[in-house]
């Protein structure tokens, strides 16, 4: 009998099919360019971070792309964040959970086996037929039983469920990589912002010092009767306005330090604020730009959405299989005796073998609506996938436009700063000898202040927009060193 059951199981397994659509990956978008125009070298100028940048179409993104900025402090900060970030640890745990769910569902491929042992003390009523052949009304009963049951996956419902859960696990994997890219990009952006704020604060302190010296000169000139009190008041207003900008910059710097601590999984009070210098961050001059056809492979958010689409496709098969007949095979074997020592004696064994067929005949349309809901969900996720792809291409195009214009912006900012500095030097000399009005000096001071801060911001923008381009192109997660991968897997 057992051999017949095994033979029947093999036949059913061979004859089984898998209902529902087989998933096909969406084709990559066509096109040779992200922006519709050829990429040329960016403008360069002779200031720190002012070198021209050259786009390299088709070049690969390094796994540790932030190392292209040649900052050991930045490298150390990113490594620490990868190790300690709670966001990465949460994504790792979500991936492990999804993988365990796949393994749990795969158990449905195999028969379920249950073993049991029971003991009871029983008494029958005298007016009914006794349970035992000895007619004893009071007795002990000991029973052992081994039960095997199996539902062959005739229509592939379980296979589709495993497929759906595997797609969910793959989606979680790409979400982990997306968290990795986002974390590294945010760390780099915050480090550049920290360097920019420090440079702006230093420049503002320098401007305040210059304006105080001018005020002292004018006060001496007033004492000699060379200028009026209105000139002194105007210079004091300029000085006060410049001093007023400091608290806002210092607040931003403190909050940026809090952000860097949080990104690394540290409490702000437990972390010393890091210090970065714009001059210590090298601007990557050769910028790799992946081919548009490769972007959908490299963007982890796109890959995650693709796996969500795969999961939705498999769920259609799960819902279709639920409407089809289901066969259950079962077998039981055991022994029963009134004395524990006789449970293995001849004649006390029992067994049974059976098969059942069940098919839904009427359910009020529940299963049909579930099939339609699964198909509608697939349509929804397909639209979400297309939207994610469009957003990915937009991110890259925006980053390319930003990097392209940053060179022109920095060149213009450098020229304006140089002109404003020359104008201020001339105005100071003329004021010191009484050959110009304080109005001309104030105008030169304000212009120099604005252009100096604009130059710092333009230098920082080139760095941050280049980092944003690396992140938009996928962040090079597929080229991560083994050490980084081990870090991901070793920190639950």
Q: What is the token pair recorded at 340?
A: 């524990």
User: Given pLDDT bands bounded at 50, 70 and 90, which one contains residue 433?
Assistant: low
Q: Is 355 helix (H, G, I), strand (E, B) or coil?
A: strand
Residue 12: predicted pLDDT: 47
Residue 317: predicted pLDDT: 95
The CA distance from 5 to 7, in Å, is 5
Residue 272: predicted pLDDT: 79
User: Given pLDDT bands bounded at 50, 70 and 90, which one contains residue 436?
Assistant: low
Burial 166-191 (b: 16+ CB within 10 A, else e): bbbbbbbbbbbbbbbbbbbbbbbbbb
Domain locations along the chain = 2-110+156-325+368-490
Residue 437: predicted pLDDT: 61
Q: What does pLDDT average to over the chain? A: 87
Residue 439: predicted pLDDT: 64
Residue 486: predicted pLDDT: 39
Pick from 59, 330, 171, 300: nearest CA to 68: 59
- Tell me the pTM: 0.86
The tens digit of pLDDT for each residue in 149-173 reads 999 999 999 999 999 999 999 999 9
The CA distance from 124 to 121, in Å, is 11
The region of weakest confidence among 194-198, 443-447, 481-485 is 481-485
Pick from 459, 466, 429: nearest CA to 203: 459
The tens digit of pLDDT for each residue in 442-463 reads 777 778 888 889 999 999 999 9
Residue 153: predicted pLDDT: 92
pLDDT, mean of residues 365-389: 95
CATH code that applies to domain 2-110+156-325+368-490: 1.20.1600.10
Q: Residue 120's beta-bridge partner residues?
A: 141
Residue 310 pLDDT > 90, yes or no?
Answer: yes
């Amino acid at each position: 009998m057992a051999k017949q059951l095994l033979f029947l199981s093999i036949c059913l397994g061979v004859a089984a099919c898998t209902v529902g659509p087989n998933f096909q990956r969406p084709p990559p978008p066509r096109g040779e360019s992200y922006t519709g125009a050829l990429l040329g070298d960016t403008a360069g100028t002779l200031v720190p971070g002012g070198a021209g940048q050259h786009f390299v179409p088709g070049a690969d993104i390094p796994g540790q792309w932030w190392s292209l900025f040649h900052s050991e402090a930045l490298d150390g900060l990113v490594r620490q964040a990868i190790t300690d970030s709670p966001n990465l640890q949460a994504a790792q745990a979500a991936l492990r959970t999804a993988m365990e769910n796949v393994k749990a569902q795969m158990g449905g491929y195999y028969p379920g086996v249950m073993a049991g042992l029971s003991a009871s003390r029983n008494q029958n009523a005298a007016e009914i037929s006794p349970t035992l052949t000895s007619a004893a009304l009071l007795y002990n009963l000991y029973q052992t039983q081994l039960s095997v049951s199996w539902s062959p996956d005739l229509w592939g419902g379980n296979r589709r469920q495993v497929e759906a859960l595997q797609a969910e696990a793959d989606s979680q994997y790409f979400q982990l990589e997306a968290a990795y890219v986002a974390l590294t990009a945010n760390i780099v952006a915050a480090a550049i912002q920290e360097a920019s704020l420090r440079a702006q604060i230093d420049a503002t302190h320098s401007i305040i010092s210059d304006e105080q010296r001018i005020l002292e000169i004018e006060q001496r000139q007033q004492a000699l009767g060379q200028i009026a009190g209105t000139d002194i008041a105007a210079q004091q207003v300029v000085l006060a306005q410049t001093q007023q900008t400091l608290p806002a910059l210092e607040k931003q710097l403190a909050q940026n330090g809090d952000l860097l601590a949080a990104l690394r999984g540290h409490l702000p009070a437990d972390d010393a604020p890091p210090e970065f210098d714009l001059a210590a961050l090298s601007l990557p001059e050769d910028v790799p730009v992946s081919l548009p056809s490769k972007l959908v492979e490299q963007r982890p958010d796109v890959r995650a959405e693709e796996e969500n689409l795969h999961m939705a496709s498999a769920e259609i098969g799960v819902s279709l299989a639920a409407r089809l007949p289901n066969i259950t095979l079962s077998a039981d074997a055991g022994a029963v005796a009134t004395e524990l020592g006789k449970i293995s004696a001849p004649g006390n064994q029992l067994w049974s073998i059976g098969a059942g067929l069940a098919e839904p005949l009427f359910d009020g349309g529940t299963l049909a609506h579930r099939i339609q809901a699964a198909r509608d969900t697939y349509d929804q996720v397909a639209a979400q996938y297309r939207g994610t792809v469009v957003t990915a291409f937009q991110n890259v195009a925006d980053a390319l436009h930003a990097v392209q214009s940053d060179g022109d912006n920095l060149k213009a900012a450098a020229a304006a700063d140089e002109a404003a500095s020359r104008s201020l030097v001339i105005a100071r000399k003329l004021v010191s000898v009484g050959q110009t009005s304080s109005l001309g000096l104030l105008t030169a001071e304000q212009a120099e202040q604005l252009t100096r801060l604009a130059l710092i911001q333009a230098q920082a923008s080139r760095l941050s927009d280049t980092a944003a381009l690396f992140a938009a192109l996928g962040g090079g997660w597929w080229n991560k060193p083994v050490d980084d991968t081990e870090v991901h897997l070793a920190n639950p």
